[in-house]
Structure 1
C-alpha cells in the first residue's frame, strides 16, 4: 500500500497546503476550551460581563476560522483523492492495454474490471480519510494531551489507563478484519464474473431454460459475498460501542476525580470543564484513528490487488533497438511452435510456410487444430515459444508492436463493433479515411447496400457490441473496417461464417480483385471457401499436415480429403 500511496508525491504542494491548514484548524479548536475555561473562572466567578462578551466574541471568531479552514481542507482533500483515483485508473488501464493474451488469461477480465473500479475506489476513499483524519488525529491527540496536562498533570494520569486499552482494541480489530477484507475482494471478483457471464450469455441461458439455474448461481455468490461483508461489518461495529463506552467511562472518571481536586482546592471549575473537553478531543482523535484502522485493512487488500496488476510484466516487449521494414513483400513462418502456459502439449508445433505479396492463403482444419493460434503468432498476441515469424526477412520480435500491427488488418472470429457510428467504427484503424474510402471498403465487404438503406447511412448509430445489427451485417462491417486500414497483410479469422453462400462468393470475388498488392490469410471451415486460394494450409492437432492448391491437396492429402468428404457430395467431389 505504501508503494501506491507514494504516487501522491505529484500532489505534494496540495498536500502541504492541507497539512498547514489542518495544523491551523486544530490549533483553533484546541484554544476554544481554554477560552471557555477563562469565561468561567475569570468572567462568571468574578462577575466580569465585559470579559465574558470579549471572550465570547473571541470564541465566535475562532469557530468561524475553524469552519473556513475546514471547508478549504475538505476541498483540497477531495481534489487530491479524486485526482489520485483518476491517476490509478489511468495507470491500470495503460498497463492492461500492454498485456498480451497470456496476462489477460492469467488475471481474468472480471477481476481486472473489479480492480479498476472497486479497488481503486477503496484507495480513493482511504486517501480522502488519510488527508482528513490521519493528519488531524495525531495533531489533535498530541495537542489535547499537552493542553490537558497543562491544566492538571495529576488528572492526566487517567489517560495512562485509557489509551493502552484503546490501542489494544484497534489492534484486535485490525488483525480480525484484514483477512476478511481480502476474502471480500475475491468474492467481489466472483460476483462480478457471474453477473458478466449472465448478461453476456442471456440468449444461451434463455434458449436452454437455465434462468433458474443462473439465478441460483447468482444467489450463491451473492449470499457468500453478503455473509462475508456482514461478518466484516459485525467485527467493525464492535469498535464503536467499545470506544463510546470507554469515552463515557473516561468522562465519568474525569468528573469524579476532578470534583475531588476542586474540593481540595487544587483545581478550578473552568479548568475541569476545559480538561473534560480536552479529554474528549483525545478520545475523539483515537476514534478517528480507529475508523482509519477499519478502512486500512480493506484498502490494503485492494492495494495489493492493484499492485499485482501494475507489477505484472507483459511477456511481449518491444525491442530496445527496433528495426523497421517497408511495405510487406513476404511473410515467413520458420519452425514456429507455441505452448499455452501449463498446457500438456503444444498448441502448434514446427509450423513452416511462406506467403508473398499477392498470395491468398487459406488455413483449414478441424476445431482445435491450431488455426487461430497461427494467426495470433503473426499479430504477436502470443509470443512464439520456438521458431521465428518474419516479415521481409525481419523477425517480428525486432519490430515494435505498433509498427507490426500497423501492417495488419485483422477481422477476428467474433465481429466486435464499438459504440458510436458506422463511420467511427470504419475509421478505427485509419482516422484520416475519407467518406469515399469508407464507401469503397463497404462495397468490397458487400455492406454498402444495407448501410445506404439506413436513415443516417455512415452516421447511423452503433449500439454496444453492434447489437442493433445482425451477425452477417456485423461481420461485413468488421471486414470493411479492416479494409479501410489499407494494410499489407489481411487476416480473416473465420470471418465469413455468418454470410450466406451468395454473399460469401461476391465478397471473395471482390477481395480477389483487391488483393494484388496484399497478402490475404483466411481461416475457413468450408471447403468451398478455400478452393480458389493460391495456397491452402491444412492443420491437424497443431501440426501443418499439408500445403498446396485445392487440386493438389484433393489428390494427395488424407486430412483434406476427409474434410471434403464430410462437406461435399460425390458429384461435387468429382
Structure 2
C-alpha cells in the first residue's frame, strides 16, 4: 500500500499544463500529416453544409412567400441532395482518416513505451507493480485514442460548424449575433471548471485501474498458492475494493459530465429565448425578410448541437490529457545508465572485487559490505551461505543490473562501468534459480535473442549437453513444442535444463549459475553437473549453490554472511579451518546420511 501511495504521489507532482501536454501529444500527429489534412478537409466540408442548409431554408421560405414555387421545383430538391452528399463525403473523409491518425499515434506511443521499458534499470522494475506498468501500456494508451480521435473530430468538425453558423448569422444580422455571443464567457467558465475536475478524476481512475490490474496479475500468477492456502476470499475482497475505487471515480466523472451538459443546454436555451425576444423587435428585424428571419433562427438553433458536443467531449479530452501525462512521465524517465565506451571483446574473465559495497535503492542497510575477492580467468568461484546473505547480489552486479555504491568491480583490469553495457552482457551467460522461459517454442527459448540465428544442429548439441535432448525428442513437436507462459507446460526440471542449454549455446567467457541445478532430481543433476563441468572448463564461473556437493571442486569457495565474506579458500582448506563452511558441510552431510 505504501508503495502504491508513493507512486500516486509521484504521479501527482506534475508541473506541465494540460495544454502543453496535449501539444506534445499532437506532436505525434506529424508523422500522419497527409491523413490529418484529408481529415480536416472532410470536417470543413461537413461544417460548410450546416450554414448551407440554413441558407437553403431561407431560399425555400422566400420562394414560397413570393410565389415562385414552380420556378424552383427541381432546383431545391437537387440542392438538398447535393448538400447531404457533400456532408456524407465530409463525414467519411474526416472520420476515416482521423482514425488512421489516431491508430498511428497510439501505435507510436505503445512502441515508444515498450522500447523505453526494456531499457529501464532493474531498480525500476522492483519499484513498480507489474499490473501498473501493464495499465500504462494498455489502459492509458486507450484513453489517448479518445483524445486524438473523438476529441479532435468533435473539436474540428463542430468547431468549424460553429464558426460557419456564426459567420452566417453575422452576415444575416450582426446585432442579434452579438447578443447571442454574450453567453459564451459563461459557458467558458463552466467548461474550465469541468476540465480541471475531469483531469483530476481521470488520474484517480488511472491509479484505480492500476490497482485492479495489480491484484488480478498477482492472483493469476499465484493461483496455486491462493487455492492451497485458502486465499480466495482475501483476493476477492482485494479485487472488490480496487474495482470499487475505480467505480467510484468513474461515477464522479459521469456525474460531473452529466451536470455539465444540461447546464450548458439551459444557458443556450436562455440565449435562444432572449434572442427570439429581441428578434421580434421591429427595430432589429425590420430589414429582414421572412426567409432571413427563419434562416437566422434556424442557424442559431443549429448552434446548440455542436456547442453541446464541444462541452461533452471535454471529459474525453481530459481523460486523454491525464493519460498522456502519465505516459510522458514514463517516457521522460532516465533509462539504465550506460556511459561505458570500451567494447568487451575477447574477455579473459579475470574478475576482481575491491572494497566493494552496495545497497538496494531505498534500503536501510547495505546488502554487501567491503567485499574484496579475486577470481582469476578460467577459474570457478562458488558462493555459499544462508539465504539473503548477498550471494545473488554479488553475481547480479557483474552484468551491471545495479551500480556499485563504493569500491571497485573490475573485469580484466577494467572497471565494469567502463564497458559498453550491451557488449559486457554479451560476454556473460546466466542461469537463474527462477527460470525464465517465454511463450514460444523450445527452440526459440534455447536460441533466444542474439542466439536466434543458431542452426538446429547447434541447438540440439546444446540440448544434449544440458541433458534436455532426451525429453525433447519424446515430445510430439520436438524443438517446435510450445512451452506456454513462463514454461508452464513443462516440469521444473525440464524448464531448468532448457535454461542451461541456452547458457551452453551462448558459449560466453563468463558464466553465472544461480542454483542452476536446484529443480533437478539426483540423476539429472549428476548428468548436468558433468555437462556443467565441461562447460566451465577455461571459463570464469560464479556458481551459487546451497548443495555443497555440487561445488566441492570449485577453485575458490567464498562463504557469504550478512553481506560480508567471512571465509574463502578451496574445499579442503575451508574444511581444515573448521569454521562456518565446515559447519555447513557437516550439517548437510548429516542430513544426507539421515
**Aligned-partner Cα distance in 1 for 2:252–2:550:** 60
CA spacing shift, 1:366–1:354, aligned 2, 3 Å: same
Provide structure 1 residue ranges, at least 5 long, that are not aligned to the other structure: none
Q: Offset of 1:193 from its aligned partner?
A: 0.4
**Aligned-partner Cα distance in 1 for 2:518–2:324:** 44
**Aligned-partner Cα distance in 1 for 2:299–2:284:** 21
Aligned partner of 2:496 in structure 1 is 475
**Aligned-partner Cα distance in 2 for 1:277–1:562:** 95
Which secondary structure state, in structure 1, belongs to the residue aligned with residue 552 of structure 2? coil
Aligned partner of 2:171 in structure 1 is 150
Q: What are the residue-to-residue correspondences of 1:305-454 with 2, within 5 Å?
A: 305-319=326-340, 321-429=341-449, 430-454=451-475
CA spacing shift, 1:152–1:557, aligned 2, 3 Å: farther
CA spacing shift, 1:438–1:110, aligned 2, 3 Å: same
Whether the aligned pair in 1 keeps the contact of 2:147 and 2:319 (CA below 8 Å) is no
- Size of the aligned set, in residue pairs, is 572
CA spacing shift, 1:277–1:482, aligned 2, 3 Å: farther
Aligned partner of 1:51 in structure 2 is 72
Which secondary structure state, in structure 2, belongs to the residue aligned with residue 341 of structure 1? coil
**Aligned-partner Cα distance in 1 for 2:592–2:344:** 50
Q: Offset of 1:550 from its aligned partner?
A: 1.1
TM-score between the two structures when normalised by the length of structure 2: 0.91
TM-score between the two structures when normalised by the length of structure 1: 0.94
**Aligned-partner Cα distance in 1 for 2:78–2:355:** 88
Which secondary structure state, in structure 1, belongs to the residue aligned with residue 291 of structure 2? helix
Deviations 1:445-485 (A, max 9, x none): 22121111111211112111111111111111111111111
| Residue 239 of structure 1 pairs with residue 260 of structure 2 | yes
Aligned partner of 1:550 in structure 2 is 571
CA spacing shift, 1:337–1:314, aligned 2, 3 Å: farther
Aligned partner of 2:220 in structure 1 is 199
Whether the aligned pair in 2 keeps the contact of 1:261 and 1:267 (CA below 8 Å) is no
CA spacing shift, 1:437–1:571, aligned 2, 3 Å: closer
| Residue 4 of structure 1 pairs with residue 25 of structure 2 | yes
Whether the aligned pair in 2 keeps the contact of 1:446 and 1:503 (CA below 8 Å) is yes
Which stretch has the larger CA shift, 201-210 or 495-504? 495-504
Deviations 1:516-559 (A, max 9, x none): 23222211112222212121121111112222111111222632
Whether the aligned pair in 1 keeps the contact of 2:344 and 2:427 (CA below 8 Å) is no
**Aligned-partner Cα distance in 1 for 2:290–2:544:** 91
| Residue 298 of structure 1 pairs with residue 319 of structure 2 | yes
Q: What are the residue-to-residue correspondences of 1:425-574 with 2, within 5 Å?
A: 425-429=445-449, 430-556=451-577, 558-569=579-590
**Aligned-partner Cα distance in 1 for 2:355–2:145:** 50
**Aligned-partner Cα distance in 1 for 2:144–2:575:** 63
Which stretch has the larger CA shift, 213-222 or 139-148? 139-148
Q: Offset of 1:103 from its aligned partner?
A: 1.8
Q: How large is the RMSD of aligned CA atoms in angstroms?
A: 2.3
| Residue 106 of structure 1 pairs with residue 138 of structure 2 | no
Whether the aligned pair in 2 keeps the contact of 1:177 and 1:232 (CA below 8 Å) is yes
Aligned partner of 1:70 in structure 2 is 91
Whether the aligned pair in 1 keeps the contact of 2:504 and 2:535 (CA below 8 Å) is no
**Aligned-partner Cα distance in 1 for 2:172–2:272:** 16
Whether the aligned pair in 2 keeps the contact of 1:336 and 1:387 (CA below 8 Å) is yes
Deviations 1:373-395 (A, max 9, x none): 11111111111122232222222
Whether the aligned pair in 2 keeps the contact of 1:336 and 1:349 (CA below 8 Å) is yes
| Residue 210 of structure 1 pairs with residue 231 of structure 2 | yes
**Aligned-partner Cα distance in 2 for 1:515–1:391:** 18
Which secondary structure state, in structure 2, belongs to the residue aligned with residue 446 of structure 1? coil
